[in-house]
Homo-oligomer: A and B are copies of this chain.
Amino acid sequence: MKIEEAQTEQVIKEKAKELFFKKGLIKTTTQEIADAAGVNRALIHYYFRSREHMLSILLDEAMEEKRERVKSILSFDLPFREKIARYIDAIITYNMTYPYLENFIISETVRNKDRTEAYCARNQSRSSDLIRDQLAEEIQQGRLAPITPEHFLVNLIALCNYPMLAKPILRTIHGMTEEAYHEFLLERKQVIYMTIFNEEMPSVS
- A interface residue numbers (CB < 8 A to B): 24, 26-27, 100, 103, 105-107, 109-111, 113, 116-117, 119-120, 123, 126-128, 145, 147, 150-151, 154-155, 157-159, 161-163, 165-166, 168-170, 172-174, 184, 187-188, 191-192, 194-196, 198-199
Q: How long is the Cα–Cα vector from A110 to B172 in the complex, in angstroms?
A: 12
| A198 in complex: contacting residue of B128, B184, B198, CB < 8 Å | B198
| Residues A116 and B159 in contact, CB atoms below 8 Å apart | no
For the complex formed by this chain, how many copies does it contain in all? 2
Having A155-B191, A158-B159, A162-B165, one finds 19 other A-B pairs with CB under 8 Å, namely A26-B111, A27-B111, A100-B110, A106-B169, A109-B166, A109-B168, A117-B172, A119-B172, A120-B169, A120-B172, A127-B173, A145-B194, A147-B194, A151-B184, A151-B188, A154-B162, A154-B170, A158-B162, A159-B159
* Chain B nearest CB, measured from A52 CB (Å): 13
Say how far A138's CB is from chain B's closest CB, in angstroms: 14
State whether A165 touches B168 (Cβ < 8 A): no
In the complex, A145 Cα to B191 Cα: how many Å? 10
